[in-house]
Amino acid sequence: MKFRDGMWLPIEGKRTEYAEDIYTITKRPDGRALSLLCPTKHVRSRGDTLNLPTVTLDLEAVFDGVISVEVTHWSGAANKGPHFDLFPDGKPQDDASISVSDKGTTIASGSVSATIHPDQHTFDIRFHATDGSKHLTSLLNRSVGFAYGPAPSTPIQLDDMRNFDHYVFTQTTLGVGETVHGLGERFGAFNKVGQSVTLWNSDGGTSSEQAYKNVSFWLSNRGYGVFIDTPDKVDLEVGSERSCRVQTSVKGQRLKWYLIYGPSPKEVLYKYTTLTGRAGRVPAWSFGLWLSTSFTTSYDEKTVSSFLEGMATRDIPVEVFHYDCFWLKAFHWCDFVFDTEMFPEPSNMISRLKSSGLVKKICVWTNPYLGQASPVFKMAAEKGYLLRRKNGDIWQTDLWQAGMGIVDFTNPEATKWFVSCMETLFDTGVSAIKTDFGERIPVDDVQWFDPSVDPSKMHNYYSFVYNKAVYEALQKRHGKCEAVVFARASTAGCQRFPLQWGGDCESTPEAMAESLRGGLSLGLCGFSFWSVDIGGFEGYPSPWIYKRWVAFGLLTSHSRLHGSNSYRVPWTIDNDDQGEQSCAKTLARWTALKARLMPYLYAQAAEAIAGGLPLSVRAMCLEFPEDPTSWYLDRQFMLGSKLLVAPVFEETGDVEFYLPEGRWTNFFTGEVKSGPRWVKEKHDFDTLPFYVRENTVLVLGKEGERRTVYNYLEDVEVRLYHATTGAEAQLVDSDGNEKGRLKIDTNSSVIGQDLLQGNSSIQIIS
């Protein structure tokens, strides 16, 4: 939302008022907050205080390294919910202090402080490290205020605010060379400076400025992040209105955000996820290959069995089979009832599949909508389980499903009913749920069951209550650490309900790159686990892009083959080519590699959860924040903290990637390259740039391992990559329990070898 026409003029149709003075500074009695009264003109006499709007700016020390900033125009405005569920694991103790000197008034929250200029006529608030070592950002002249649209010609017109929109905004300064990242799963440029970003969940695919997962958090390369504390629509001008500022605006009377100081990006994410929550542990089996029926394809039990048998004969283990939409009857989506014409005995069918040994787990597609044709619709409408219009009608639309209604999760009884539907699916043998949709939640002419909620805030927040209900139902049935959702829509806090996938992408190399950028941005918002539709969702992938996507997709935390109107089993892509570079052979090799990586991956997953970090895809800047280049790298990523992956986007196999400082060893060939430098390589379909960071102790499953769940301490291969004193690797079992660590001591010996079982070996790579 832009409010200015260049630097000097107001934009047509808007009137803007800026905080000009800091007239009074009031210390809260507990010593943890300051309240600033800020008139919108300089006050030089008593008469200047009349007919003059003010803005109140509250600064609070929240916990070490975190200060909140809240701007309010009219404090009497209702602050309706929903509100983000903050500090789900408890609030840390704060270390607050307030001091006054000739430099101004300073509020400190442990390692971060805000200093207010001593001259009341100089609007200047500086955020900095408490020890004075680093300046972060500032609120300067004309950086805090409110706006009306349309512009009123007289204050009398504001007697009836129904005719006006009211906005509150802040503008934090951008330093020279500063970059901004995150804001959810964004598919455009990785560095957001220069972009206008609207945080509003939309079903727009990956090739647009819209996003399924809008998260009101951004990370700066200057060692801090900002979390905007509202699920409502947020408009950001990231160096796109004033090129030296990030403008944040919301419709309403108040705006609150938290400034989070690291100084490292990992520390910023740890503190951000202290506020909003961290991912739950996902089971080891979920890291295996997921195979889907695809979206609009026709299938029955025979089709499913043929897919799984075909994968088995090609040495491609499938851990999870996913039934997409048409397990349900057409026009009935989503009443949670199997289409009995196609699947007359769903429980027996699932039991047969599992007992065959071809697959271990079953997932089904769901959404929070209900088509009018389903007999369940009438019951849900009568009981008040569906969202209503203001006149009492059920809110319905023909977009997606004819006459569909939307489950109203603000009604506790509706949530109980929805969960009971999940439990019925679990009774049939379902182990995981794909929670699709949840983005197009209406805000006009709607009345939620809970009258205290703001429909606009419910739009994004709906994804939280939707995924929470399903995730907790899975936990209750299968166990706290066995729950897996496969979610598309998300907002801040949804990282607590893993996992998320990247949405509808085309079957092109450009879409693969878009998806990667989306995953990188989402990972910088505290989401530990992420997946993508291997091969692309829309269209028919050519064999080469399918194979390149397989290599990429099997090195993300979770790996699923899924398409729209075509199958994604490999033999349908290349007419069942039998060559060594065929789709089937390529998929088998990369699936086997991921199985071998599981001792490393599952240990890294535990570390990612604890730190609020992405497992994969992890932006390079998280591991190499002091390297300026790392903040611009969006065609490669880290798999955990030790492995670098650069997907190939060219049919020729040509790829260019960046190696940060240090020695890097090619996982496949053992060749060593030193960084920092750019590297060009050419790859067939059985390799890609896959490099191991120096000083790595890498634990792998045995050669030829095909399973995802096995004993991660038995018959393992331990590789030491230029490992020196102190290098270590965490050892976990297949339940995620830490069993100890392997560590290099001062004599270059490996401590902890007694934890290894069977014919485990240690190999020195140098």
Q: What gap in Å lies between CA 210 and CA 228, rounded to an integer?
A: 19
- The three-class DSSP label of residue 388 is strand
The CA–CA distances, whole Å, from 338 to 93, 200, 566, 650, 757 equal 51, 33, 22, 42, 46
Q: What is the DSSP letter of 55?
A: E
- What's the rounded Cα separation, in Å, for the pair 234 and 239? 16
Q: Contact, 564 vs 673, CB < 8 A? A: no
* pLDDT for residue 354 is more than 80: yes
Query: What integer pLDDT is reported at residue 303 of this predicted model?
Result: 97
Residues belonging to the active site: 436, 439, 504
In this prediction, residue 416 has a pLDDT band, given cuts at 50, 70 and 90, of: very high
Cα–Cα distances in angstroms (integers) from residue 747 to residues 119, 743, 751, 761, in the given order: 61, 11, 10, 19
Domain boundaries, the chain: 14-74+96-171, 284-611, 635-765
Both tokens of 261, joined, read 């100081």
Tell me, what's the pLDDT at 94? Answer: 84
Pairing mode, strands 432-435 and 485-487: parallel
pLDDT in tens, 689-698: 999 999 999 9
Model pLDDT for residues 701-751, shown as the tens digit of each residue? 999 999 999 999 999 999 999 999 999 999 999 999 999 999 999 998 999
Whole-angstrom distance, CA of residue 755 vs CA of residue 467: 39
What is the reported pLDDT for 531?
A: 98
Q: What is the pTM of this model?
A: 0.98
Alpha-carbon 347 to chain mean position: 34
Query: Helix, strand, coil shares of the chain as percentages rounded to 5?
Result: 25, 30, 45
Per-residue tokens: 458? 């419910």
Nearest to 489 by CA among 209, 234, 204: 204
Decide if pLDDT at 766 tops 80: no
pLDDT above 70 covers a percentage of the chain that reads: 100
| Among the ranges given (81-85, 218-222, 744-748), the one the predictor scored with the smallest mean pLDDT | 744-748
Interatomic CA distance for residues 407 and 463, integer angstroms: 12
Residue 353 has pLDDT above 90, yes or no: yes
The answer to whether 713 and 725 have CB atoms below 8 angstroms apart is no
Over range 648-667, report the average pLDDT: 98
CATH topology agreement for domains 284-611 and 635-765: no
User: What pLDDT does residue 410 have?
Assistant: 98
For residue 446, give both structure tokens: 């709607």
Q: Would you say residue 394 has pLDDT above 90?
A: yes
Architecture of domain 635-765: Sandwich (2.60)
Distance between CA atoms of residues 556 and 515, nearest Å: 12
Rg of the chain on CA atoms, in Å: 27
Bridge-based pairing of strands 33-39 and 24-27 is: antiparallel
403 burial via Cβ count (<10 Å: 0-12, 13-18, 19+): middle
Contact 546, 539 (CB under 8 A): no
Q: What is the mean pLDDT of the chain?
A: 97
Question: Does residue 621 have a cis bond before it (omega within 30 degrees)?
Answer: no
Cα separations (Å) of 685 from 44, 420, 653? 73, 46, 8
CA 468, 469, 473, 476 torsion: positive or negative? positive
| Architecture label for domain 14-74+96-171 | Sandwich (2.60)
Instruction: Look up tokens 């903040």; give the residue.
Output: 631
Residue 379 clears pLDDT 80, i.e. is over it: yes
Could you tell me how far CA 509 lies from the centroid of its own chain?
A: 22
CATH ID of 284-611, from 3.40.50.12280, 2.40.50.100, 3.20.20.80, 1.10.260.40: 3.20.20.80
How large is the average pLDDT for residues 196-223? 98
Strand 559-561 versus strand 637-639 pairing type:
unpaired
Contact indicator for 383, 354 with CB cutoff of 8 Å: no
Helix and strand numbers, DSSP H then E, in the chain: 10, 42
Model confidence pLDDT, tens digit, residues 331-343: 999 999 999 999 9
Query: 227-270 pLDDT, tens per residue?
Result: 999 999 999 999 999 999 999 999 999 999 999 999 999 999 99
Question: What per-residue confidence (pLDDT) applies to 591?
Answer: 98
Query: Within its chain, how far is the Cα of 21 from the centroid?
Result: 39
Q: What is the mean pLDDT of residues 400-424?
A: 98
